[in-house]
Amino acid sequence: IGIEDPGYHAQLPFLREMGWQVQACPLDQLGLAIEEAPLDQLDILSVTPTHQFPTGSLMPLTRRQAILDWARQSPNRWIIEDDYDSQFKYSGRPIPSLAQLDQGNQVIYMGSLSRILSPGLRISYMVLPTSLLSLFYQKEKQFAVNLNTISQYAIHDFIQQGHLERHLNRARAFYKRKRDRLIHAIEAQDPQAQLIGLDAGLHLLIQPSFAFHSQPFQAQLAQEGIRLKTLADFSIHAQTGFDQQIFLSFSGLPMDEVDKLISDLYQALKQHKKTTKT
């Protein structure tokens, strides 16, 4: 199985325990780097094409088609599409999901209501190819998590009555305002900073205009009870410079605390700024 690197690697222990050989597939600015991925060695490819975690890249249509072409070369190849953060897109026209484009019935589409509504719901969903349904029903009891039936019925009615779409429209507008406030605060502190992954989602990457010592910077924040990660922390094979890109989630950040947070962040960064030797 191939997974994105950097990516969401919390599933690694489970995959290895199940006996899967995991291959790290590198990324570029457009998502999974097809030319560099060991596709010939893979039976399954797991991707987040709409808002790659954690880089925020958006996979273009041509690359999505290339991944589907890879799957079509064998009936035993599968694509797991984690449609992470797809509901929170702030600009540009949406690109069809791999599942929508799939003609070979080889895409397993997954999503969660945790980001959309509340993490407390603990409700996710999966759209399976018809050819996998019988196998799924055979195996589901081994992995099933008991969910509150009342919650499931409530969510069903919530969606059927059109409340979910209205909620998403309000949430999208709210998070866009918060994202814009965050961008303004960062640019006020560091006009030359590079901001990555702005088009969608509830997080972004900040690459300050100056280099900093990442480990002591993170250690200082940890002492203050703040766990701040860089791109290197999401990587199996971290590349040079990954530790200079700061991962910042803004979903739970109060709007009126944005300016102070960024001011405090840059104050700490400057304490660990690298000096250039002459």
Tokens describing residue 113: 């209501």
Angle value at C-alpha 91, between 67 and 243, nearest 5 degrees: 65
Specify the 3-state DSSP secondary structure of 18. coil
Question: E-assigned strands of 181-271?
Answer: 194-196, 203-207, 229-230, 246-249
Banded model confidence at residue 87, pLDDT cuts 50, 70, 90: confident
Domain ranges of the chain: 2-144, 176-271
> Structurally, what CATH architecture does the domain formed by 176-271 represent?
Alpha-Beta Complex (3.90)
The tens digit of pLDDT for each residue in 264-273 reads 999 999 999 9
Q: Are strands 194-196 and 124-127 parallel, antiparallel or unpaired?
A: unpaired
Residue 140 is predicted with a pLDDT of 81
Residues 6+ apart with CB under 8 A from 277: none
Q: Is the pLDDT of residue 142 over 80?
A: no
124-127 sheet: strands from edge to edge: 31-32, 23-28, 2-5, 44-47, 78-82, 107-112, 124-127
Angle value at C-alpha 96, between 21 and 117, nearest 5 degrees: 80
Residue 75 is predicted with a pLDDT of 92
The tens digit of pLDDT for each residue in 99-113 reads 999 987 999 999 888
103 phi and psi, to 5 degrees?
-105, -15
Q: How many Cα atoms within 13 Å fall on the side-chain side of residue 117?
A: 18
pTM of the model: 0.90
If phi > 0 it is left, if psi is from -120 to 50 it is alpha, else beta; for residue 164 that is alpha
Residue 209 is predicted with a pLDDT of 97
Mean pLDDT confidence for 32-36: 93
Residue type at 34?
I
Mean pLDDT, the chain, integer: 91
Nearest C-alpha neighbor of 68 from the set 92, 34, 91, 95: 34
Q: How far apart are CA 188 and CA 191, in angstroms?
A: 6
Q: Is the pLDDT of residue 71 over 70?
A: yes
Percent of the chain exceeding pLDDT 90 equals 72
Please give the residue that has the higher pLDDT: either 121 or 244.
244
Residue 229 is predicted with a pLDDT of 96
Residues 6+ apart with CB under 8 A from 86: 50, 51, 94, 97, 111, 200
Residue 18 is predicted with a pLDDT of 87
Residue 277 is predicted with a pLDDT of 52
The tens digit of pLDDT for each residue in 154-200 reads 999 999 999 999 999 999 999 999 999 999 999 999 999 999 999 88
Q: Is the pLDDT of residue 238 over 60?
A: yes
Residues 6+ apart with CB under 8 A from 117: 155, 167
Banded model confidence at residue 37, pLDDT cuts 50, 70, 90: very high
Pick the CATH number of 2-144 from 3.40.640.10, 3.90.1150.110, 3.30.465.10, 3.30.70.580: 3.40.640.10
Q: Is the pLDDT of residue 218 over 50?
A: yes
Residues 6+ apart with CB under 8 A from 264: none
Q: Under a CB-based contact definition with an 8 Å cutoff, are residues 114 and 151 in contact?
A: no
Banded model confidence at residue 119, pLDDT cuts 50, 70, 90: confident
If phi > 0 it is left, if psi is from -120 to 50 it is alpha, else beta; for residue 19 that is left
How would you label 225-262 residue by residue, b for 16+ Cβ within 10 Å and e otherwise? eeebbbbbbbbbeeeeebbbbbbbebeeeeeeebeebb
